Amino acid sequence: MKQIVVAITGASGSIYGLRLVEELLKSQCRVALLLTRSGLEVLRYETGLEWEGSTSARKQLMRDYFGGSHRLDHYDADDLFAPVASGSSAPDAMVVVPCSMGTAGRIAAGIGSNLVERAADVALKERRELILVPRESPFNPIHLENLLKLSRAGAHILPAMPGFYHRPKTIDDLVDFVVGKILDSLQIKHSLFQRWGEG
Ligand SMILES: Cc1cc2nc3c(=O)[nH]c(=O)nc-3n(C[C@H](O)[C@H](O)[C@H](O)COP(=O)(O)O)c2cc1C
């Protein structure tokens, strides 16, 4: 069973993170879902989901949202004692989706001041797959330099840039395109979009 950490930060597009968790659980993965403080706020603003209260209350709300799966864990963004903060229990992969420029910059600088940044730091040092899904437009040179630095350190930069050659009809089609690309990177089978040359 693959163990994947999914982190939702304060960039626009929390729906990508939600949809990814849904698909990972469907594929029998074990998922640790982390949200930064801004991630929780943007999630509420964009989706209306109010995941508030204690860590365990939030974990229950998340499990309810994802159909009660016990393969879903949640740790507070300040909890540097969580298993994913340690190289000795590094997951198979980590995906930061959406990834804010703030989080990207702090991972690039090796700051590790919250659980998302620390878990990403661990993924890089333990040579586990780290996929960052940045969302910002336009990028400034600082963003671009940070993303290049992260790519050179081993992270996969997979921007939230849906294609249009599969002729999307709905927002869900656009979201699924990006989530399908993430699953491809994780080598998890899916049928979220029709591949070029199929059909
Ligand atoms: C509604 C909303 C949308 C935002 N969208 C983005 C975005 O697309 N990209 C980004 O880098 N920051 C975005 N921000 C700003 C980040 O939330 C902010 O920089 C925050 O400090 C990031 O914190 P975090 O990296 O700890 O999650 C947005 C903020 C709000 C309130």
Would the CB of 42 count as within 6 Å of ligand 1?
Answer: yes
pLDDT in tens, 100-118: 999 999 999 999 999 999 9
The yes-or-no verdict on residue 197 having pLDDT over 80 is: no
- pLDDT attached to residue 69: 83
DSSP string, 18-78: HHHHHHHHHTT-EEEEEE-HHHHHHHHHHH-----SSHHHHHHHHHHHTTS-TTEEE--TT
Does residue 25 fall inside a structural domain?
yes
Question: Which ligand 1 atom minimizes the distance to the CA of 106?
Answer: 25
First to last CA, the chain: 31
Does residue 199 fall inside a structural domain?
no
189 in a known ligand binding site: no
Distance of alpha carbon 99 from alpha carbon 136, whole angstroms: 9
**Cα 136–Cα 20–Cα 192 angle in degrees, nearest 5:** 100
In angstroms, how far is CA 51 from the centroid of its own chain?
17
Residue 32, beta-bridge partner list: 5, 73
To the nearest 10°, report the CA torsion of 166, 98, 123, 2: -50
Residue 147, beta-bridge partner list: none
Does residue 108 fall inside a structural domain?
yes
- pLDDT attached to residue 196: 77
Does residue 191 fall inside a structural domain?
no
Q: Give percent above pLDDT 70 in the chain.
A: 99
Q: Please state, rounded to an integer, the average pLDDT across all residues of the chain.
A: 96
Does residue 97 fall inside a structural domain?
yes
Which domain covers residue 157, as residue numbers?
3-185
88 in a known ligand binding site: no
The yes-or-no verdict on residue 92 having pLDDT over 80 is: yes
CATH code of 92's domain: 3.40.50.1950
Would the CB of 81 count as within 6 Å of ligand 1?
Answer: no
**pLDDT band at residue 1, thresholds of 50, 70 and 90?**
confident
Residue nearest to atom 26 of ligand 1 (CA): 36
When divided into structural domains, the chain yields a total of: 1
pLDDT in tens, 39-84: 999 999 999 999 999 999 999 999 999 998 899 999 999 999 999 9
Would the CB of 10 count as within 6 Å of ligand 1?
Answer: yes
Mutate to test the pocket of ligand 1, among 12, 34, 45, 113 (most ligand atoms within 8 A of CB): 12
Does residue 23 fall inside a structural domain?
yes
Does residue 193 fall inside a structural domain?
no
Does residue 143 fall inside a structural domain?
yes
